[in-house]
């Protein structure tokens, strides 16, 4: 495996969803390639900071208490009006 | 209570309970919707519409995927439709007005939300790239899961992620920029 191929598989490598054979090749490549080890570290660090920031930026949001009733009303069968 | 006395002729046995859906998934859906569409009020509407569609279509839910994944698929489609509509509106407004005033006052809620540099950075991404980032890093999905939810090939998902990360590395304010140096960029450019 070369750097370009590793780059192509970096997310699946992190997900641990690669075929066993490809994963083995990726590991061999990583052992010998400081550049790809660095890229992997950066990808993980970026992931951590993005996760934290996305969670922080939405942490204050909570559901409107009227949500349940509004949905309930929308899905309730329409009542027939007396003519 | 009163409702059960006047129960309407049953729909095909609904397997989903609205109260449970909201309790278990409501908040997560809202937060994801806010990230996807970048507007709290729109996000609330989108979550409401997601739940309405989910309840109406609940007979079609066969439990082949997790409930949340199913809900998320509905939400994502609604967000995409909403963005397309919005883009048309902006285009029309631009043609008629040289300047547009903010449509509503900024609330405290908005401020907390917008104060985040990352929310701003996400705004610079196209809808497709923003989606990829949110699905990966907020929803924590694996590549194949993102592909399924977003209706894309895994190759497209990966290239969107690489591109989006590269873009974010350029615009994320200093304190959030853990993407490494310009070196990342050269490594990722292909
Ligand atoms: Zn390498």
Contacts of A17 in chain B (CB under 8 A): 142-144
* Run of H or E residues at B110: helix B108-115
CA of A29 to the centre of ligand 1 (A): 6
Check if A45 contacts B (Cβ < 8 Å): yes
Q: Picking from A8-12, B55-59, B107-111, which range would have the lowest pLDDT averaged per residue?
A: B107-111
Query: Which of the four pLDDT bands, split at 50, 70 and 90, describes residue A79?
Result: low
Any idea what DSSP says for residue B179? S
Q: At which residue do the structure tokens 């509106």 appear?
A: B89
Q: Say whether pLDDT at B10 is over 50.
A: no
- How confident is the model over B10-33, as a mean pLDDT? 81
For residues B9-17, average pLDDT: 55
Q: Average pLDDT over chain A, rounded to whole?
A: 89
User: How far is the CA of B71 from the CAs of B58, B88, B165, B180, in angstroms?
Assistant: 10, 26, 26, 35
Residues 6+ apart with CB under 8 A from B51: A67, A71, B18, B21, B22, B26, B71
Check residue B21 and give its pLDDT. Answer: 92
What pLDDT sits at residue B147?
A: 94
CB contact under 8 A, A54 and B138: yes
Lowest mean pLDDT among A57-61, B52-56, B114-118, B143-147: B114-118
Mean of the per-residue pLDDT values for chain B? 74
pLDDT above 70: percentage of residues in chain B: 63
Q: Among B40, B116, B165, whose Cβ lies nearest the Cβ of A56?
A: B116
| Contact between A61 and B30 (Cβ < 8 Å) | yes
Predicted confidence at residue B46, as pLDDT, reads 96
Shortest alpha-carbon distance between residue A82 and chain B (Å): 17
* pTM over 0.80, yes/no: no
Lowest mean pLDDT among A79-83, B1-5, B60-64: B1-5
Q: If you average pLDDT over residues B70-86, what whole number do you get?
A: 87
For chain A, the structural domain boundaries read: 3-80
Residue ranges of chain B assigned to CATH 1.10.10.10:
103-190
- Please report which confidence band the pLDDT of residue B75 belongs to, taking 50, 70 and 90 as the band edges: very high
Rounded average pLDDT over B2-24:
64
Q: Is the pLDDT confidence value at B175 over 50?
A: no
Find the range with the poorest average confidence among A19-28, A29-38, B10-19: B10-19
A31 CB within 8 Å of a chain B CB: no
Is pLDDT of A56 > 60? yes
CATH dotted code for B1-97? 1.10.1740.10
Tell me the chain B residues in contact with residue A44 when contact means C-beta distances shorter than 8 Å: none
Taking the C-alpha atoms of residue B174 and residue B63, their distance in angstroms, rounded to an integer, is: 44
* Domain B103-190 coded CATH 1.10.3190.10: no
Give the pLDDT score at B83.
78
- For the stretch B82-139, pLDDT in tens is 877 776 665 555 544 433 334 444 444 444 443 356 667 888 899 899 999 999 999 9
Residue B183 reports pLDDT greater than 50: no
CATH 1.10.1740.10 in chain B is located at 1-97
Across the interface, which of A54, A63, A64 has its CB nearest the CB of B137?
A54
Say if the Cβ atoms of A64 and B44 lie within 8 Å.
yes
Q: Residue A53's pLDDT band (boundaries 50, 70, 90)?
A: confident
d(CA A39, nearest CA chain B) in Å: 7
């Amino acid at each position: 495996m070369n750097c370009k191929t590793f780059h192509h598989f970096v997310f699946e490598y992190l997900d641990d969803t690669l075929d066993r054979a490809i994963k083995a090749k990726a590991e061999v490549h990583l052992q010998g390639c400081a550049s790809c080890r660095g890229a992997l570290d950066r990808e993980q660090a970026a992931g951590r900071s993005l996760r934290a920031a996305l969670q922080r930026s939405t942490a204050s949001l909570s559901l409107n208490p009227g949500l349940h009733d509004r949905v309930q009303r929308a899905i309730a069968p329409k009542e027939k009006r007396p003519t | 209570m009163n409702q059960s006395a006047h129960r309407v002729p049953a729909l095909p046995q609904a397997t989903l309970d609205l109260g449970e859906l909201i309790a278990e998934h409501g908040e997560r859906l809202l937060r994801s919707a806010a990230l996807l569409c970048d507007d709290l009020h729109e996000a609330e509407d989108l979550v409401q519409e997601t739940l309405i569609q989910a309840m109406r279509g609940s007979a079609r839910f066969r439990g082949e995927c997790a409930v949340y994944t199913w809900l998320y698929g509905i939400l994502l489609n609604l967000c995409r439709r909403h963005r397309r509509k919005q883009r048309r509106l902006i285009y029309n407004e631009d043609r008629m007005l040289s300047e547009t005033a903010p449509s509503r006052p900024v609330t405290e809620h908005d401020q907390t939300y917008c104060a985040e540099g990352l929310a701003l950075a996400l705004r610079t991404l196209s809808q497709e790239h923003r989606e990829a980032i949110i699905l990966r890093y907020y929803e924590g999905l694996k590549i194949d899961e993102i592909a399924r939810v977003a209706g894309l090939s895994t190759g497209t998902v990966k290239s969107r992620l690489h591109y989006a990360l590269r873009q974010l590395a350029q615009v994320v304010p200093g304190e959030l920029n853990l993407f490494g140096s310009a070196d990342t960029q050269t490594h990722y450019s292909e």
